[in-house]
Chain A
Amino acid sequence: MKIRIWGCRGSLPSPGPEKNIFGGNTSCVQITHNKTCIILDGGSGIQRLGIGIDQSITKIDILLTHLHIDHIMGLGFFQPFYNPNITINIWGPSASKEGLQQRLRRYFSPPIFPVQLKELPSKPNIIEINSSQFEIDDFKITSEYVCHPGPTVGYRLQLGDTVFTYIPDHEPALGASDYPNNPEWTSGYSLAKDADLLIHDAQYKTSEYTSRVGWGHSSFADAVKFAELTKVKKMLLFHHDPLHTDETLKELFAEIYRDQHQKLELELAQEGNIYFLT
């Protein structure tokens, strides 16, 4: 499978010359394999994805982790929604009461957005998942609720023996008093276990995290601990804080890379980067 990062910024799009390397668009990751096109989250990065999308694609599956604005703000600007000849499925987590369609309508309605969900020419199908297992073409997918405010899932996508896990907004340290020593009691462990590639939240410096406990995000250090616990082969640090410049990110990365013990493959997620998993 081919994985491309279209947006890896957290919380708020924040373009600017000081963010040119890692990019300012919010969460959006595309997976392609043969005719399958799966898009993880509809942050502002999805706009460019839509503009350049392969015209031979007739079906797109958008998997939303949750409905925080940085993960859905690009949806209205995703060109394929305006093409009646494309089938689009939007998958997203169930809440306690209100349906996914109703919750998406809050974005797809004035005054926030002029076009209503029902007016989109592609007539997207809305599919609710929770802690579920389902298939999209050759992909076996597991979703599970994870530790983040509001209904939020992470995804484990398996193609043959290859596993890619996506948990962009996640605070596993909050749910485990002896973090990271107890896999059975660590949020997201089953999703990430032994993955070939993990994309994981790493929004804060350790010093920032101490005043943001419970906000649903991880420090660089906690993200690395999570990757070590789950024994993933490679991790991309994702959901960069909008205040962190390229320079800040490089400094934080150098620090964490120096301090980590297991020497796992570690990279900062970068807009435009492409990975091939076989």
Chain B
Amino acid sequence: MSSQQIELILSRQLADSLSIPVFLVDTNGTLLFYNEPAEEILGMRYEETGSMPPEEWSTKFQPQSNDGKILDPSELPLVQTLKEKTPSHGEFWIKSMNGEMLKISVTSYPIIGRPSRFLGAVALFWKSSNT
């Protein structure tokens, strides 16, 4: 086994120490880590799910728009960040593993290490007050 790049290791450590929900993925979109506040919103535990391919996390929570239309994964901020390597933001509904419909705001940014090494992305999300 080899270790992750230091930028990902430190991103995970930061996420682990925050009380806002954070989601960390590699360049392919594979979910590498999500923290405890994210576990609470998503209704699942990192220890139990481990890492997850993008096809799974981008559809698992049935992301949908205000009018109930299921969103294509390409419309999700984190997927856009991975594609464009730029920050992105959006609001949409998800169905947590507990079956609860939640409106969330998501801000994502790319992890670009020295010198211009694209290594993955982070999404910060929280329950939207604007429901």
Contacts and interface: CB of A to CB of B under 8 A. Distances in A.
B9 A176 contact: yes
Contacts, number: 58
B9 A147 contact: yes
B49 interface: no
Interface in A61-98: 93-97
Query: Which one of B3, B9, B13, B113 has the greatest number of beta carbons of chain A within 10 Å?
Result: B3
Interface in A183-202: 183-190, 193
A271 interface: no
B4 interface: yes
A145 B6 CA distance: 6
Interface residues of B, number: 17
Contacts of B115: 94-97, 128, 130
Given A175-B9, A175-B10, A176-B13, A184 B114 contact: no
B129 interface: no
B2 A189 contact: yes
Interface in B25-74: none
A175 B16 contact: no
Given A147-B9, A177-B13, A177-B16, A187 B117 contact: no
A11 B70 CA distance: 57
Contacts of B17: 177
A260 interface: no
A193 B1 CA distance: 9
A133 interface: no
Contacts of B117: 130-131
A95 B116 CA distance: 10
B6 A144 contact: yes
Given A93-B114, A96-B115, A146 B12 contact: no
Interface in B100-131: 113-115, 117
A1 interface: no
Nearest to B17: A177
A33 B45 CA distance: 52
A131 B5 contact: yes
Contacts of B7: 145
A189 B114 contact: no
A185 B114 contact: no
B110 to A, nearest CB: 14
Contacts of B1: 183-184
A190 B2 contact: yes
A185 B10 CA distance: 9
Interface string A122-163: 000000101100000000000011110001000000000000
20 contacts: A95-B115, A96-B115, A97-B115, A130-B114, A130-B117, A144-B6, A145-B113, A146-B6, A147-B6, A174-B13, A175-B10, A175-B13, A177-B13, A177-B17, A183-B1, A184-B1, A184-B3, A185-B9, A188-B3, A190-B3
Interface of A: 93-97, 128, 130-131, 144-147, 151, 174-177, 183-190, 193
